Amino acid sequence: MTQNTAVKKDIVKDKIYQNLLKEVAGLYAMPMGAFNIRADGEGVDRHTTANIDIVTKKDQPGIDIIVKPGTKNESIHIPVVIGRSGLNDLVYNDFYIGEDADVTIIAGCAIHNPGHDDSGHDGIHRFFLEKNARVKYVEKHYGESEQGAKNILNPTTVIELGPHSYMEMDSVQIQGVDSTRRDTRAVVGDGATLIVTEKIMTSDNQTAETIFDVKLNGEDSKTHVISRSVVKGRSKQKFISKLEGNHKSHGHSECDAILMDEGRAIAIPEVTANHLDAELIHEAVIGKIAGEQLVKLMTLGLSEKEAEAEIISGFMK
């Protein structure tokens, strides 16, 4: 299915949109498999497969992605790109993953802001995994601005994991996002597992707030939430982690942050055990780059800035 052919042609020819697709989804051409590409608030192009259907919502902007039971080794790309100033985009995407399916989903948003007005994208994604379903979900956020206007990204992710399902969420934000509120909420069923890894870097006067709220409702449910952040310039980051064990379960949350310049980081853990066999752990480490790490790399011939960059690169991997 193809939508808005005129916009599609512009994206194919326009180097700015090409770069945005590369940054947010690693795309140098239209991907194989199922995909839905959204640009400047409109659907651009779409492709479905025999096992994966993508349907436009009738009551609100967004799509439903339906993965048939038993689907294996297929991917779904749903990037959003914005190349305009003053655009505030809102989209609702729901994912229905059938029993025993195993798929990879590549999402995220990239903004190139050429003007003086702020641009933003709010993406609300809901995931419903049936029994034994598996999902690898990769989400990247990226921004760039020509005139100093702000880029604002507020992703919301809601997850419901059925019995013995598994979801791995890998979220990255490393450049050009001036303000973000990242809200992830999950309910984990019997024998199900949720793994979340977040990597986020802020600089200048940027702000970022992350909220993880995971309810371990099922017997032998598990979650591991990992946040790695670098706070540069006068930027601020807040990390809020809430784990609630309502059955025999295991939850582990960890936050590691590197402070640089005049950056400020806050970590707020909350663990609630409502069952005798709920095991919940939270760890948080916030601090500057260790002096001995810099010295060691500088003895190998790196400058101080090069050594810092090397340490940060390794930390964010």
∠ Cα 216 220 223 (to 5°): 50
Closest of 93, 103, 37, 41 to residue 67, by C-alpha: 103
Domain residue ranges in the chain = 1-166, 178-290
- Greatest CA span in the chain, whole angstroms? 62
Distance CA 239, CA 209 (A): 6
Distance CA 313, CA 38 (A): 30
* Strand pairing class (34-39; 42-47): antiparallel
Distance CA 313, CA 138 (A): 19
Cα radius of gyration (the chain): 20
CB 265 within 8 A of CB 229: yes
Report the b/e string of 209-241 with b at 16+ CB within 10 A.
bbbbbbbbbbebbbbbbbbbbbbbeebbbebbb
254-292 pLDDT, tens digit per residue, is: 999 999 999 999 999 999 999 999 999 999 898 888 777
Distance CA 98, CA 134 (A): 9
CB 188 within 8 A of CB 160: no
Taking the model in full, what pTM does it have? 0.91
Beta-bridge partner residues of 156: 124, 183
| Ramachandran area for residue 70 (φ above 0: left; ψ -120 to 50: alpha; else beta) | left
Token pair, residue 222, equals 């598990």
16-56 pLDDT, tens digit per residue, is: 777 788 887 776 566 678 999 999 998 888 999 999 999 99
Closest of 138, 223, 240 to residue 186, by C-alpha: 223
* C-alpha distances in Å from residue 27, one per residue of 2, 19, 52, 96, 213: 18, 9, 20, 24, 32
Distance CA 155, CA 167 (A): 17
pLDDT tens digits for the chain (317 residues)? 444 444 454 555 567 777 788 887 776 566 678 999 999 998 888 999 999 999 999 999 999 999 999 999 999 999 999 999 999 999 999 999 999 999 999 998 999 999 999 999 999 999 999 999 999 999 999 999 999 899 999 999 999 999 999 999 999 998 999 999 999 999 999 999 999 999 999 999 999 999 999 999 999 999 999 999 999 999 999 999 999 999 999 999 999 999 999 999 999 999 999 999 999 999 989 888 877 777 777 888 888 888 888 888 888 77
Q: Which residues are CB-neighbours of 49 under 8 A, at least 6 positions away?
A: 33, 34, 74
Phi, psi of 5 (to 5 degrees): -60, -35
Token pair, residue 262, equals 């005049």
CB 182 within 8 A of CB 208: yes
Distance CA 62, CA 29 (A): 23
Distance CA 100, CA 262 (A): 49
Distance CA 4, CA 164 (A): 40
Q: Provide the pLDDT for residue 24.
A: 77
CB 121 within 8 A of CB 86: no
